[in-house]
Chains A and B, each alone.
Chain A
Amino acid sequence: MLDRRDFVGQLLIDRGELLVVCGLGSATYDVAAAGDHPLNFYLWGAMGGTAMIGLGLALARSDRRVAVITGDGDMLMGIGSLATIGVKQPKNLAIVVLDNGHYGETGMQPSHTDAGVDLVAMGLACRFKHARAVSRIDEAADVRALLHAGEGPILVNARIKAEDVPRVLPLRDGHAIKQRFVEALNSL
Protein backbone atom coordinates (compact mmCIF):
# COMPACT_ATOMS: atom_id res chain seq x y z
CA MET A 1 0.00 0.00 0.00
CA LEU A 2 1.25 3.43 -0.95
CA ASP A 3 1.63 6.59 1.06
CA ARG A 4 -0.50 8.96 -1.03
CA ARG A 5 1.63 12.06 -0.53
CA ASP A 6 4.85 10.23 -1.26
CA PHE A 7 3.38 8.63 -4.39
CA VAL A 8 1.85 11.80 -5.85
CA GLY A 9 5.01 13.72 -5.00
CA GLN A 10 7.07 11.25 -7.01
CA LEU A 11 4.66 11.34 -9.95
CA LEU A 12 5.04 15.11 -10.18
CA ILE A 13 8.82 15.37 -9.85
CA ASP A 14 10.19 17.44 -12.74
CA ARG A 15 6.71 17.61 -14.18
CA GLY A 16 7.69 20.04 -16.91
CA GLU A 17 4.68 21.04 -18.97
CA LEU A 18 2.37 18.29 -17.74
CA LEU A 19 -1.24 19.50 -17.42
CA VAL A 20 -2.88 18.18 -14.25
CA VAL A 21 -6.59 17.98 -13.46
CA CYS A 22 -7.26 16.83 -9.92
CA GLY A 23 -10.45 15.54 -8.36
CA LEU A 24 -12.16 17.10 -5.39
CA GLY A 25 -11.06 16.34 -1.88
CA SER A 26 -7.89 14.48 -1.05
CA ALA A 27 -6.57 14.27 -4.61
CA THR A 28 -6.62 18.06 -4.85
CA TYR A 29 -4.81 18.31 -1.51
CA ASP A 30 -2.23 15.71 -2.58
CA VAL A 31 -1.46 17.54 -5.82
CA ALA A 32 -1.24 20.85 -3.96
CA ALA A 33 1.08 19.25 -1.38
CA ALA A 34 3.41 18.24 -4.20
CA GLY A 35 3.80 21.93 -5.02
CA ASP A 36 1.31 24.51 -6.24
CA HIS A 37 1.54 25.01 -10.01
CA PRO A 38 -0.44 27.14 -12.47
CA LEU A 39 -0.95 24.09 -14.69
CA ASN A 40 -2.95 22.40 -11.91
CA PHE A 41 -6.70 22.59 -12.33
CA TYR A 42 -7.98 22.00 -8.82
CA LEU A 43 -11.54 20.79 -8.36
CA TRP A 44 -13.47 21.49 -5.19
CA GLY A 45 -16.74 20.06 -6.47
CA ALA A 46 -18.21 18.64 -9.69
CA MET A 47 -17.77 15.13 -8.31
CA GLY A 48 -17.64 12.57 -11.09
CA GLY A 49 -16.47 15.07 -13.68
CA THR A 50 -12.70 15.01 -13.36
CA ALA A 51 -11.96 12.42 -16.06
CA MET A 52 -14.20 14.22 -18.55
CA ILE A 53 -12.47 17.54 -17.93
CA GLY A 54 -9.28 15.66 -18.71
CA LEU A 55 -10.80 14.37 -21.95
CA GLY A 56 -11.95 17.81 -23.11
CA LEU A 57 -8.50 19.21 -22.35
CA ALA A 58 -6.69 16.31 -24.02
CA LEU A 59 -8.78 16.69 -27.18
CA ALA A 60 -8.23 20.46 -27.24
CA ARG A 61 -4.47 20.14 -26.71
CA SER A 62 -3.34 16.97 -28.42
CA ASP A 63 0.18 18.44 -28.37
CA ARG A 64 0.31 18.27 -24.55
CA ARG A 65 0.20 15.54 -21.94
CA VAL A 66 -2.79 15.54 -19.60
CA ALA A 67 -2.85 13.74 -16.24
CA VAL A 68 -6.04 13.31 -14.27
CA ILE A 69 -5.31 12.56 -10.61
CA THR A 70 -8.38 11.67 -8.61
CA GLY A 71 -9.88 9.40 -5.99
CA ASP A 72 -11.86 6.18 -6.27
CA GLY A 73 -15.09 7.90 -5.22
CA ASP A 74 -14.87 10.52 -7.98
CA MET A 75 -13.95 7.88 -10.56
CA LEU A 76 -16.83 5.65 -9.54
CA MET A 77 -19.30 8.53 -9.76
CA GLY A 78 -18.20 9.21 -13.33
CA ILE A 79 -17.54 5.60 -14.26
CA GLY A 80 -19.30 5.95 -17.63
CA SER A 81 -16.63 8.43 -18.66
CA LEU A 82 -14.22 5.49 -18.99
CA ALA A 83 -16.43 4.22 -21.82
CA THR A 84 -16.59 7.70 -23.37
CA ILE A 85 -12.80 8.02 -23.22
CA GLY A 86 -12.50 4.52 -24.65
CA VAL A 87 -14.42 5.66 -27.73
CA LYS A 88 -12.21 8.71 -28.33
CA GLN A 89 -8.87 6.99 -27.56
CA PRO A 90 -6.92 10.12 -26.59
CA LYS A 91 -3.23 9.22 -26.84
CA ASN A 92 -2.21 12.03 -24.47
CA LEU A 93 -4.53 11.30 -21.53
CA ALA A 94 -3.70 9.36 -18.38
CA ILE A 95 -5.86 8.85 -15.30
CA VAL A 96 -4.35 8.01 -11.94
CA VAL A 97 -6.89 6.84 -9.37
CA LEU A 98 -5.72 7.18 -5.78
CA ASP A 99 -7.70 4.25 -4.47
CA ASN A 100 -8.00 3.90 -0.74
CA GLY A 101 -11.30 2.07 -0.98
CA HIS A 102 -12.95 4.74 1.13
CA TYR A 103 -14.73 8.09 1.02
CA GLY A 104 -12.17 10.11 2.96
CA GLU A 105 -14.02 13.44 2.95
CA THR A 106 -17.15 12.07 4.55
CA GLY A 107 -15.78 9.90 7.31
CA MET A 108 -13.98 6.99 5.66
CA GLN A 109 -17.00 4.94 4.67
CA PRO A 110 -15.99 2.02 2.40
CA SER A 111 -16.32 2.52 -1.36
CA HIS A 112 -17.13 -0.03 -4.05
CA THR A 113 -13.46 -0.75 -4.66
CA ASP A 114 -13.14 -1.86 -1.04
CA ALA A 115 -15.61 -4.61 -1.91
CA GLY A 116 -13.46 -5.70 -4.83
CA VAL A 117 -14.90 -3.69 -7.71
CA ASP A 118 -11.98 -3.58 -10.14
CA LEU A 119 -11.25 -0.27 -11.89
CA VAL A 120 -8.32 -1.73 -13.85
CA ALA A 121 -10.59 -4.35 -15.37
CA MET A 122 -13.05 -1.61 -16.24
CA GLY A 123 -10.30 0.37 -17.94
CA LEU A 124 -9.28 -2.63 -20.01
CA ALA A 125 -12.89 -3.36 -20.89
CA CYS A 126 -13.20 0.28 -22.01
CA ARG A 127 -10.27 -0.08 -24.44
CA PHE A 128 -7.66 1.77 -22.41
CA LYS A 129 -4.22 1.13 -23.93
CA HIS A 130 -2.63 0.71 -20.52
CA ALA A 131 -4.51 -0.21 -17.38
CA ARG A 132 -2.62 -1.42 -14.35
CA ALA A 133 -2.65 -1.43 -10.59
CA VAL A 134 0.30 -0.28 -8.50
CA SER A 135 0.86 -0.64 -4.78
CA ARG A 136 4.61 -0.19 -4.27
CA ILE A 137 6.50 3.07 -4.24
CA ASP A 138 9.20 1.67 -6.52
CA GLU A 139 6.55 1.56 -9.26
CA ALA A 140 6.09 5.34 -9.13
CA ALA A 141 8.87 5.97 -11.64
CA ASP A 142 7.13 3.70 -14.17
CA VAL A 143 3.84 5.53 -13.66
CA ARG A 144 5.56 8.88 -14.01
CA ALA A 145 7.06 7.69 -17.30
CA LEU A 146 3.61 6.63 -18.49
CA LEU A 147 2.22 10.08 -17.69
CA HIS A 148 4.89 11.76 -19.77
CA ALA A 149 5.31 9.36 -22.67
CA GLY A 150 2.92 6.39 -22.54
CA GLU A 151 0.34 5.86 -25.26
CA GLY A 152 -3.07 6.72 -23.90
CA PRO A 153 -5.64 6.33 -22.79
CA ILE A 154 -3.94 5.14 -19.62
CA LEU A 155 -5.53 4.14 -16.31
CA VAL A 156 -3.41 3.52 -13.22
CA ASN A 157 -5.13 2.36 -10.07
CA ALA A 158 -2.84 3.20 -7.18
CA ARG A 159 -3.66 1.34 -3.98
CA ILE A 160 -3.00 3.80 -1.20
CA LYS A 161 -3.38 3.49 2.54
CA ALA A 162 -6.71 4.61 3.97
CA GLU A 163 -5.45 7.26 6.32
CA ASP A 164 -6.12 10.88 7.06
CA VAL A 165 -3.27 13.16 6.14
CA PRO A 166 -3.07 16.91 6.85
CA ARG A 167 -5.01 18.97 4.35
CA VAL A 168 -3.09 21.23 2.01
CA LEU A 169 -5.58 23.71 0.67
CA PRO A 170 -4.84 25.42 -2.67
CA LEU A 171 -6.81 28.16 -4.44
CA ARG A 172 -10.57 27.77 -4.11
CA ASP A 173 -11.82 30.51 -6.43
CA GLY A 174 -12.80 28.67 -9.62
CA HIS A 175 -12.42 31.70 -11.85
CA ALA A 176 -8.91 32.30 -10.53
CA ILE A 177 -7.92 28.64 -10.94
CA LYS A 178 -9.20 28.63 -14.52
CA GLN A 179 -7.65 31.94 -15.49
CA ARG A 180 -4.28 31.05 -14.05
CA PHE A 181 -4.31 27.71 -15.87
CA VAL A 182 -5.32 29.20 -19.22
CA GLU A 183 -2.71 31.96 -19.04
CA ALA A 184 0.03 29.50 -18.08
CA LEU A 185 -0.93 27.14 -20.89
CA ASN A 186 -1.04 29.96 -23.43
CA SER A 187 2.42 31.13 -22.41
CA LEU A 188 4.11 27.73 -22.87
Chain B
Amino acid sequence: MHSPTTIETSWPDAIYAHFRRVGIRQVGYVPDAGHSRLIARCRSDPDIADVVLTTEEEGVGLVAGAALGGERAALLMQSSGVGNCVNMFSLLRNCGFGCVVLVTMRGEFGEFNPWQVPMGTITEDVLRLAGFLTRRIESADAVDEIVGAGCDMAFNGNLPVAILLSQRLIGAKQWTR
Protein backbone atom coordinates (compact mmCIF):
# COMPACT_ATOMS: atom_id res chain seq x y z
CA MET B 1 0.00 0.00 0.00
CA HIS B 2 1.12 3.52 -0.71
CA SER B 3 2.15 5.46 2.32
CA PRO B 4 1.44 9.19 2.38
CA THR B 5 4.96 9.93 3.49
CA THR B 6 7.07 7.86 1.14
CA ILE B 7 5.66 7.44 -2.36
CA GLU B 8 4.22 9.76 -5.00
CA THR B 9 3.48 12.64 -2.68
CA SER B 10 3.90 15.32 -5.31
CA TRP B 11 0.54 14.82 -7.02
CA PRO B 12 -1.01 17.76 -5.13
CA ASP B 13 1.45 20.00 -6.98
CA ALA B 14 -0.06 18.88 -10.28
CA ILE B 15 -3.50 19.92 -9.03
CA TYR B 16 -2.14 23.25 -7.88
CA ALA B 17 -0.56 23.82 -11.30
CA HIS B 18 -3.97 23.42 -12.92
CA PHE B 19 -5.51 25.82 -10.41
CA ARG B 20 -2.94 28.35 -11.58
CA ARG B 21 -3.45 27.51 -15.24
CA VAL B 22 -7.23 28.02 -15.21
CA GLY B 23 -7.09 31.00 -12.87
CA ILE B 24 -8.68 29.67 -9.68
CA ARG B 25 -8.92 32.63 -7.31
CA GLN B 26 -10.82 31.18 -4.34
CA VAL B 27 -10.33 27.82 -2.66
CA GLY B 28 -12.69 26.66 0.07
CA TYR B 29 -11.75 23.77 2.32
CA VAL B 30 -12.17 22.08 5.65
CA PRO B 31 -8.72 21.04 6.91
CA ASP B 32 -7.87 17.56 5.67
CA ALA B 33 -4.74 15.41 5.88
CA GLY B 34 -5.05 14.19 2.30
CA HIS B 35 -5.29 17.74 0.97
CA SER B 36 -2.72 19.22 3.36
CA ARG B 37 -0.02 19.83 0.76
CA LEU B 38 -2.46 21.39 -1.72
CA ILE B 39 -3.98 23.55 1.01
CA ALA B 40 -0.51 24.77 1.97
CA ARG B 41 0.26 25.66 -1.66
CA CYS B 42 -2.99 27.61 -1.97
CA ARG B 43 -2.51 29.38 1.35
CA SER B 44 0.93 30.61 0.33
CA ASP B 45 -0.32 31.94 -3.02
CA PRO B 46 -1.20 35.65 -2.85
CA ASP B 47 -3.45 35.31 -5.91
CA ILE B 48 -5.67 32.74 -4.20
CA ALA B 49 -8.08 33.55 -1.38
CA ASP B 50 -8.04 30.49 0.86
CA VAL B 51 -11.25 30.17 2.82
CA VAL B 52 -11.32 27.77 5.72
CA LEU B 53 -14.89 26.59 6.25
CA THR B 54 -16.73 25.30 9.30
CA THR B 55 -18.60 22.85 7.07
CA GLU B 56 -18.15 21.94 3.42
CA GLU B 57 -21.66 23.14 2.65
CA GLU B 58 -20.45 26.72 3.08
CA GLY B 59 -18.09 26.17 0.18
CA VAL B 60 -20.93 25.71 -2.28
CA GLY B 61 -22.18 29.19 -1.48
CA LEU B 62 -18.65 30.52 -1.75
CA VAL B 63 -18.30 29.09 -5.28
CA ALA B 64 -21.57 30.70 -6.33
CA GLY B 65 -20.62 34.08 -4.91
CA ALA B 66 -17.19 33.94 -6.52
CA ALA B 67 -18.77 33.18 -9.89
CA LEU B 68 -21.21 36.08 -9.54
CA GLY B 69 -18.18 38.28 -9.05
CA GLY B 70 -16.38 36.81 -12.06
CA GLU B 71 -13.94 34.56 -10.19
CA ARG B 72 -13.35 30.84 -10.44
CA ALA B 73 -13.34 28.76 -7.28
CA ALA B 74 -12.49 25.22 -6.25
CA LEU B 75 -13.47 23.17 -3.22
CA LEU B 76 -11.35 20.63 -1.37
CA MET B 77 -13.08 18.14 0.86
CA GLN B 78 -13.09 14.64 2.26
CA SER B 79 -15.71 12.14 1.16
CA SER B 80 -17.60 12.75 4.40
CA GLY B 81 -17.89 16.41 3.41
CA VAL B 82 -19.81 15.53 0.26
CA GLY B 83 -22.65 14.39 2.47
CA ASN B 84 -22.68 17.75 4.21
CA CYS B 85 -23.32 19.56 0.92
CA VAL B 86 -26.20 17.76 -0.71
CA ASN B 87 -29.01 20.33 -0.60
CA MET B 88 -26.63 23.21 -1.20
CA PHE B 89 -25.43 21.55 -4.42
CA SER B 90 -28.83 22.51 -5.87
CA LEU B 91 -27.47 26.06 -6.12
CA LEU B 92 -24.93 24.92 -8.73
CA ARG B 93 -27.53 23.19 -10.83
CA ASN B 94 -30.24 25.81 -10.53
CA CYS B 95 -27.98 28.62 -11.66
CA GLY B 96 -25.36 26.84 -13.78
CA PHE B 97 -22.27 27.62 -11.76
CA GLY B 98 -19.05 25.89 -12.83
CA CYS B 99 -17.16 24.24 -10.00
CA VAL B 100 -14.31 21.82 -9.38
CA VAL B 101 -14.51 19.71 -6.24
CA LEU B 102 -11.53 17.56 -5.28
CA VAL B 103 -12.57 14.80 -2.91
CA THR B 104 -10.09 12.80 -0.87
CA MET B 105 -11.67 9.42 -0.27
CA ARG B 106 -12.03 7.72 3.08
CA GLY B 107 -13.67 4.50 4.01
CA GLU B 108 -12.87 2.54 0.88
CA PHE B 109 -9.36 1.06 0.95
CA GLY B 110 -7.43 0.04 4.03
CA GLU B 111 -9.63 2.24 6.19
CA PHE B 112 -8.96 1.91 9.89
CA ASN B 113 -12.13 3.65 10.98
CA PRO B 114 -15.40 1.92 10.09
CA TRP B 115 -17.33 5.14 10.75
CA GLN B 116 -15.92 6.49 7.48
CA VAL B 117 -17.27 3.59 5.43
CA PRO B 118 -20.99 4.45 5.07
CA MET B 119 -20.32 7.84 3.47
CA GLY B 120 -17.20 6.74 1.60
CA THR B 121 -19.07 3.99 -0.20
CA ILE B 122 -21.85 6.27 -1.47
CA THR B 123 -19.82 9.40 -2.22
CA GLU B 124 -19.56 9.00 -5.99
CA ASP B 125 -23.23 8.02 -6.35
CA VAL B 126 -24.30 11.02 -4.27
CA LEU B 127 -22.26 13.36 -6.45
CA ARG B 128 -23.72 11.90 -9.64
CA LEU B 129 -27.26 12.19 -8.30
CA ALA B 130 -26.54 15.80 -7.41
CA GLY B 131 -25.61 16.52 -11.02
CA PHE B 132 -21.82 16.28 -10.97
CA LEU B 133 -19.59 14.81 -13.63
CA THR B 134 -17.33 12.50 -11.66
CA ARG B 135 -13.93 10.94 -12.24
CA ARG B 136 -11.92 8.70 -9.95
CA ILE B 137 -8.16 8.78 -9.80
CA GLU B 138 -6.39 5.63 -8.64
CA SER B 139 -2.77 6.44 -9.40
CA ALA B 140 -0.54 9.46 -9.12
CA ASP B 141 0.45 9.44 -12.79
CA ALA B 142 -3.17 10.11 -13.81
CA VAL B 143 -3.65 13.19 -11.65
CA ASP B 144 -2.33 15.76 -14.10
CA GLU B 145 -4.41 14.62 -17.05
CA ILE B 146 -7.68 14.05 -15.21
CA VAL B 147 -7.57 17.19 -13.08
CA GLY B 148 -6.67 19.22 -16.17
CA ALA B 149 -9.58 17.82 -18.13
CA GLY B 150 -11.92 18.32 -15.19
CA CYS B 151 -10.94 21.96 -14.73
CA ASP B 152 -11.44 22.63 -18.42
CA MET B 153 -14.90 21.07 -18.48
CA ALA B 154 -15.97 22.87 -15.32
CA PHE B 155 -15.08 26.34 -16.50
CA ASN B 156 -15.53 26.09 -20.26
CA GLY B 157 -19.08 24.90 -19.81
CA ASN B 158 -20.14 26.02 -16.33
CA LEU B 159 -20.45 22.44 -15.15
CA PRO B 160 -20.04 20.92 -11.72
CA VAL B 161 -17.11 18.48 -11.83
CA ALA B 162 -15.97 16.26 -8.96
CA ILE B 163 -12.69 14.38 -8.95
CA LEU B 164 -12.34 11.60 -6.43
CA LEU B 165 -8.83 10.94 -5.19
CA SER B 166 -8.93 7.33 -4.12
CA GLN B 167 -7.77 6.23 -0.72
CA ARG B 168 -5.30 3.96 -2.45
CA LEU B 169 -3.69 7.02 -4.05
CA ILE B 170 -3.65 9.07 -0.87
CA GLY B 171 -2.68 6.24 1.45
CA ALA B 172 -4.88 5.00 4.24
CA LYS B 173 -4.64 7.11 7.36
CA GLN B 174 -1.73 5.90 9.45
CA TRP B 175 -2.51 5.28 13.10
CA THR B 176 0.72 5.28 15.01
CA ARG B 177 -0.39 6.30 18.48
Contacts and interface: CB of A to CB of B under 8 A. Distances in A.
Interface residues of A, number: 37
Given A45-B90, A49-B60, A50-B61, A56 B66 contact: yes
Central interface residue in B25, B64, B73, by most chain A CB within 10 Å: B64
A57 interface: yes
A128 to B, nearest CB: 15
A104 interface: no
Contacts of B67: 56, 178, 182
Given A49-B88, A174-B95, A175-B95, A60 B65 contact: yes
Contact of A80 (B54, B69, B73): B54
A46 interface: yes
Interface string B46-64: 0001011111011111111
Contacts of A175: 94-96
Interface in A18-57: 19, 21, 41, 44-57
Contacts of B51: 55, 59, 84, 87-88
Contact of B68 (A56, A81, A84): A56
Nearest to B53: A84
Central interface residue in A45, A46, A56, A58, by most chain B CB within 10 Å: A56
Contacts of B70: 60-61, 182, 185-186
B166 interface: no
A162 interface: no
A9 interface: no
A2 to B, nearest CB: 26
A179 to B, nearest CB: 8
A87 B54 CA distance: 11
A56 B65 CA distance: 4
Contacts of A182: 67-68, 70
A48 B61 CA distance: 9
A181 interface: yes
Contacts of B32: none
A50 B55 CA distance: 14
Nearest to B71: A60
Contacts of B95: 174-175, 177-178
A174 B65 contact: no
Given A48-B88, A88-B51, A78 B58 contact: yes
A174 B97 CA distance: 10
B26 interface: yes
A135 to B, nearest CB: 28
Interface of A: 19, 21, 41, 44-61, 64, 78, 80-81, 83-84, 87-88, 174-175, 177-178, 181-182, 185-186
9 contacts: A45-B90, A48-B57, A52-B61, A56-B62, A59-B51, A60-B71, A80-B53, A84-B51, A185-B69
